[in-house]
Structure 1
């Protein structure tokens, strides 16, 4: 074969490979929606969502239940007792489901982790739905068991709206600072994460209600 003909043949072969490679790439590349649908077909995401639902259910049922029982019993549990219930239940759920889902148990935590690049965006919808569903189910069960009375379990600020907002901002900052410090930094990760986060929630609840 002449050199010119050989060069043309080689060039044609390379172009064919490029076209075929492009087709394979386009076929294998998933759009965001396709990636989300594919993720829903895997057992892992359902395990994570179930863990988040159970953890959020337990936290809401125990914490809000303590508030309701405290009101019904004329303050037998006390404000400090309610804070302890929230802190200890969160601590328990972190150790119970943390190895499965990370124990976010709060849409704000999930969104914050996503914002700092420590959680995949495609898993956010399933986590948020599971968390809201778990909390709603816990509230519904509390209503079925204890009945419905006005203001039971409600957070009623005693100061102005601006004071309440400022308090929420500061206390939420403390909580998210601790969570991101012990749960996302490999130098701080370990068995103490549950104690640190649960303790922060306890102190926040005790201080800010």
Structure 2
């Protein structure tokens, strides 16, 4: 089946839209009910579902850090990578807009007080008030781990490739279980850009952490994978 770039971008837009709406939505709409563990599973399950929903169309990157890592390892062209990233960011912004609209349906909702699931560092951005440097290191390391799982589970040398979505989804869940108290967990620039554009303030000021950190981590993860898998 021949898939056009526009079809791939629609898949990336939709996949990122679902990830941000359901992941950030779990924090904003259901956080008091499900807690950090529930939020972690919401992000992981969103990715798992989208792998099987759009993975056969676009590869289900739904994350600029993954796309850049795939570009660095020769798995995607520069033209496609650029288009993917635009679609991912657009999907995240659209999801944040929908989430904001839904959240306003509750009388006591306040964008300033309740936010949109934006990532943060320091005080008051970090849920447990971790410093900027702690947040940056966490984003680099967690993204690197995530990308090793992504590359490894989707490798042609992996005989269990049919279960790639499960491995990727559970890896993201694990990363959120550990990392939510530090930054809220990004490991995905698009996921951070969408909410930050609406929340503004410190979310915008510290947005670079959630762009630079995941990109470095993505490149590092791709490099680690290449050390042991000559796919």
SS in 1 for 2:76: coil
TM-score, normalised via structure 2 length: 0.68
CA distance in structure 1 between the aligned counterparts of 2:5 and 2:97, rounded to whole angstroms: 25
Task: Report what 2:64 is aligned to.
Answer: 107
Preserved contact between residue 3 and residue 57 of structure 2 (Cα < 8 Å)? no
CA distance in structure 1 between the aligned counterparts of 2:78 and 2:96, rounded to whole angstroms: 28
Counting matched residue pairs gives 164
1:168 to 2:139 alignment: yes
Task: Report what 1:132 is aligned to.
Answer: 89
Query: What is the Cα deviation at residue 70 of structure 1?
Result: 3.3
- Residue in structure 1 matching 2:26, options 61, 66, 75: 66
CA distance in structure 2 between the aligned counterparts of 1:102 and 1:81, rounded to whole angstroms: 26
Q: Which runs of 4+ in 1 moved over 6 A?
A: none
CA distance in structure 2 between the aligned counterparts of 1:154 and 1:132, rounded to whole angstroms: 14
CA distance in structure 2 between the aligned counterparts of 1:57 and 1:190, rounded to whole angstroms: 25
TM-score, normalised via structure 1 length: 0.75
Query: Deviations along 1:52-81, whole A, 9 cap, x unmatched?
Result: 00000001000000010135xxx2111000
1:190 to 2:150 alignment: no
Task: Report what 1:149 is aligned to.
Answer: 111
Query: What is the Cα deviation at residue 143 of structure 1?
Result: 0.8
Query: Deviations along 1:150-193, whole A, 9 cap, x unmatched?
Result: 2521333221111111111211111011111112x201162110
Structure 2: which 5+ residue stretches go unaligned? 105-109, 120-124, 181-231
Task: Report what 2:227 is aligned to.
Answer: none
- Residue in structure 2 matching 1:77, options 28, 34, 44: 34
Structure having the higher Rg: 1
